[in-house]
Structure formats: C-alpha cells, structure tokens
Amino acid sequence: MTVLGAGSADAGGARADEERLAESASVVLMQPTTLCNLNCSYCYLPDRRVSRRMSVEVAQAVATGVREWSRKRPVAVVWHGGEPLAVGPAYFRSLVAPFGSGEGYAVTHAVQTNAVLIDEAWCEVFSTVPVRVAVSVDGPGEANAARVDWAGHPSLERVMSGIGMLRRAGIPFNMIAVVADAAPGAATAVYRFACELGCDSLGVNLAEKKGVYGGGQGAGGGIVTFWQELAACWQADPRIRVRELDHVYTYIREELAGTAVLRAGRALTPLPLVAWDGGFLPIGAELAGFRSPRHGLFSAGNVLDTPLAVLLARAHEVPWVAEALAGVAGCREHCDYFAYCRGGQAANKYFETGRLDSTETMYCRTSKINLMEGILRHAERACV
C-alpha cells in the first residue's frame, strides 16, 4: 500500500505554510482537577499531588461555546484529570449541569478514571447524566505494577472493585491500558484481560517519554511484533473493538476507496483542553501546566475572558501554536505517513525534542509507523 506523500500536489488542501485548525471541535477535554489519588510511575502530569479544582464558572463558559458547536455536529465533553472523580459526585454534577440538553444541539459526556473511587453514588451519576466511562487499567496482575497510590500500595484490587460496581449496575465501559514492556505475549495478555473484563473497547498506549516521565521504549522489530500480535488476537476473537486497529483499518479503507487524498487535505482537527483554571490549549493537551523557556506557560487564552470559538479562531496567532502548526507543515512536506497520521502530536514533539516544529518522533515510530507495519505484517501472513 502506498501512503500519500505529504508534499503531493494531489493533497488538495492547504499549502504546507498555510496549516490551519478547523473552526470547531467534536471533542473537548476538561480538567476538573489536577489531583490524582494514584502515583503511576509513567504518569506525565506535573501537579497531580496538588488539588486545584475547576470552578463552575469555567464550566459555564465552556458550555456556552460547546452548545454552539454542537448545533452543527455532536460534541463529546471528556472529563480527564488528574483523577476526575476526585471532585466528588455532587461537585461533578455541578460542572456538568451548565451543558444541559435541548433541541438543536447534542452534547455527550465521558470520563477517564482509574476506577478506584467508583461507588453507588458515582454509578448513579454515570446512569443519570449520563456519562460514558473509560477505565485506566493495564492488564492482569503485574502489568499494573506501575499503578500505585501515594503510599506505594498496589491499586489493582480497588480498581477491580470499581469495575465490579459498574458491571453490577449495568454501566458499559471502555478500557485504556498503558503498556510499559511490549515483550512477546504482552499484547495477548492485555487483549484477553480486556475481553474477560467485559469492556466494550480497548485502547493501548505505549509508555512514552512525556511531561515529567523520562522513560519510554525504543522503536523497532519488538514494537512491530507487539502490534502484529494484537491484530492477530483481535482477528481470532473480535468480540471487542481496539482503538488503534480501528484507526488503521479506517485509513486503509480510505486508501482502498481512493479517498485518503481528501483526508490529507482537511484542516487539522483540534483537540482542545480546558484546564482547571480556564486556560485553553487548542492542541497538545498534555502540555497543560508546563512552561517553555521561549513561550512561557502553554496556553492560548482563557475561557473566562474570551469565548471558546474566538479562542480557537485566533489560536494560530499564538506563537507556540504557530510553531506547532509549522511542525505539521513539516510533516506534510516530508513524511510519507502524513495522510494517515496527520502531523503527529505536539506534546510528544516538545517533550522529545524541546521544540514544537520538529517532525518525526519516537511516538510517531512506535505508535503510528510501527503500528501500521505490524498490522500490514499480520495481514500478509494471514493471506499466506
């Protein structure tokens, strides 16, 4: 399969020096608190031991903009901390309430949680708001060795208790796992665990150098084999969806249909995050709370001062965002995977290289290129 070259005249979109963000977002990340009750060794967040809570005023300001966007297409508001559930059920309801519901707009809610705090009160919130739930758990037994609390105690038993609450309440959930060691058998273990857990879908993140975490793993044949193994597991027992496989297979279908060229030409889709204090990041959500020696605090304004749509429309004028868009332009010009990847991740570029306008990163190699290679290798061997 030929991947559309970034600099192709057939790309049909903006010139490489004219990268722009789309006018609205279909997903908005919200940080209800910086606090987390766990101290996972691979976590990138800088202030997860500090309790800073989003005000209702910030939620109200975001809700106004999100409702406008949702008149054109549904918008998912994803509550993602810290540990979002650390704010408590009652306060969480007060943050969600401004988004409301009504004719002419469609807003849904989701939460990414470690599940430790899930109880009957939270299950009632999830059922009545309603809120889609995604649980962070890395697989069976020792796969969760990195997921400890601040006293160094394991969390898996408490996580499984929270998941049990969801299951008894009939609340569907997804699972996201961080794989710290992509050794042979790791993909099989995490996939079988997810199937046995009864989740609807599995997302897999490889531990990576980002934020305050300086570890990660190298690219190469071992990572390719990991993704190949995961694809084989899914094909043998496709009872749940796998986020990474969905992304690749969607792209492959577009290539086969001849529509990948349109994908490459679209404006960059923003994935904005609104921090606890109202700070707005149109891209690079993992940069929240960090400062650059050249750009200062990573922010493109504040929703308490400026409407959401205006912040997004002006985002390209913010120096650090402009630098990140220049990095996307570089990917478009030089990377054969651009139509599939769409320019990499700004946060990974910064934390790996110290700049936002760099191009290929270790994240690109392990979680995009090696992923594609692994799936293609699986397809080739399955056809033999």
Number of Cβ within 10 Å of residue 12's Cβ equals 12
Amino acid at 189: A
Provide the whole-model pTM: 0.93
pLDDT at 183 exceeding the cut of 80: yes
pLDDT at 9 exceeding the cut of 80: no
Q: How far apart are CA 332 and CA 334, in angstroms?
A: 6
Question: For 191-201, what is the mean pLDDT?
Answer: 98
Q: Residue 173: what pLDDT?
A: 98
Decide: 307 and 339 in contact? Cβ < 8 Å: no
Beta bridge pairs of residue 110: 78, 132
Beta bridge pairs of residue 201: 241
DSSP per residue, 294-307: TTEE--S-BTTTS-
Q: Residue 381: what pLDDT?
A: 82
pLDDT digit string, tens, across residues 95-135: 999 998 766 779 999 999 999 999 999 999 999 999 999 99
b/e 244-277 (16+ beta carbons within 10 angstroms → b): bbebbeebbebbeeeebbebbbeebebbbbbbbb
Question: For 366-376, what is the mean pLDDT?
Answer: 96
pLDDT at 295 exceeding the cut of 60: yes
Q: How far apart are CA 63 and CA 18, in angstroms?
A: 30
Q: Which of 283, 281, 311, 286 is nearest to 64 (CA)?
A: 311
pLDDT at 54 exceeding the cut of 90: yes
Tokens representing 68?
């406008």
Interaxial angle between packed helices 370-382 and 221-236, expressed in degrees from 0 to 180 and rounded to the nearest 10? 50
Dihedral angle, C-alpha 113, 118, 123, 128, nearest 10 °: -50
Amino acid at 296: G
Decide: 75 and 106 in contact? Cβ < 8 Å: yes
Q: Residue 102: what pLDDT?
A: 65
pLDDT digit string, tens, across residues 308-365: 999 999 999 999 999 999 999 999 999 999 999 999 999 999 999 999 999 999 999 9
Number of Cβ within 10 Å of residue 217's Cβ equals 18
How many CA atoms, within 13 angstroms, populate the side-chain half-sphere of residue 83?
Answer: 24
Tokens representing 336?
């054969």
Q: Residue 103: what pLDDT?
A: 65
In whole angstroms, what separates CA 131 from the centre of its chain?
17
How many CA atoms, within 13 angstroms, populate the side-chain half-sphere of residue 303?
Answer: 29
Q: Residue 216: what pLDDT?
A: 78
Q: Residue 298: what pLDDT?
A: 97
Number of Cβ within 10 Å of residue 68's Cβ equals 15
